[in-house]
């Protein structure tokens, strides 16, 4: 064994004060995010993100040793690939889009839906309002369980 293998890995500062297991229980999910030509390990909940630092081979190995259950979620998210260099974010074309008509007061929610929202706020500490919660919930449902993303298709006439 070399001296390098004998050294204990250095735990990144971002990991020291976070209770990752508790965050995952609250709905946060591990992700690899590509920024420029670098990959970063982060946790995501709806549209909120918490960085866990660069996603290098060493940090991913340490993450797997320290948090095997959470790493399994990350591996599932990456669809079984260990090569994080192939993970890319969506390519987005920015353009002006007309705002859809307001739904108005005709929208009614069931008591069950409102109770779920109250549970997320009170017991899980969700910081947003009902609209943000529904946006996050619907987005997460399609991203996570249906593996569907929306795209804008532009046609030249």
DSSP per position, 108-121: ---HHHHHHHHHHH
Q: Which residues of the chain have pLDDT under 50?
A: 1, 79-93
- Give residue 155's pLDDT: 66
Token code pair at residue 148:
């569907």
Q: Tokens 């420029």, residue?
A: 36
- Give residue 8's pLDDT: 65
pLDDT digits (tens, 9 = 90+) for 30-60: 888 888 888 888 888 877 888 888 888 888 8
**What is the number of helices (H) and of strands (E) in the chain?**
7, 3
- Give residue 41's pLDDT: 86
Q: H helices within the chain, ranges in order?
A: 3-6, 13-16, 20-25, 57-66, 68-77, 111-122, 130-140
Dist. CA 96–CA 35, nearest whole Å: 24
- Give residue 140's pLDDT: 83
Token code pair at residue 66:
């320290």
| pTM metric for this prediction | 0.44
- Give residue 136's pLDDT: 86
Q: How many residues does the chain have?
A: 157
What are the residue ranges spanned by the domains of the chain? 3-86, 90-157
């Amino acid at each position: 064994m070399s001296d390098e293998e004998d050294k204990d890995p250095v735990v990144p500062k971002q990991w020291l004060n976070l209770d990752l297991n508790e965050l995952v229980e609250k709905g946060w999910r591990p992700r690899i995010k590509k920024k420029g030509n670098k990959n970063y390990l982060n946790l995501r909940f709806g549209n909120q993100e918490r960085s866990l630092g660069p996603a290098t081979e060493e940090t991913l190995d340490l993450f797997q040793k320290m948090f095997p259950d959470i790493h399994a979620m990350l591996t599932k998210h990456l669809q079984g690939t260990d090569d994080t260099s192939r993970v890319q974010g969506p390519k987005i074309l920015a353009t002006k889009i007309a705002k859809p008509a307001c739904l108005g007061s005709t929208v009614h929610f069931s008591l069950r839906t409102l109770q779920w929202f109250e549970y997320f706020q009170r017991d899980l500490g969700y910081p947003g309002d009902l609209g943000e919660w529904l946006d996050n919930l619907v987005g997460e449902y399609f991203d996570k369980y249906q593996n569907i993303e929306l795209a804008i298709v532009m046609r030249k006439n």
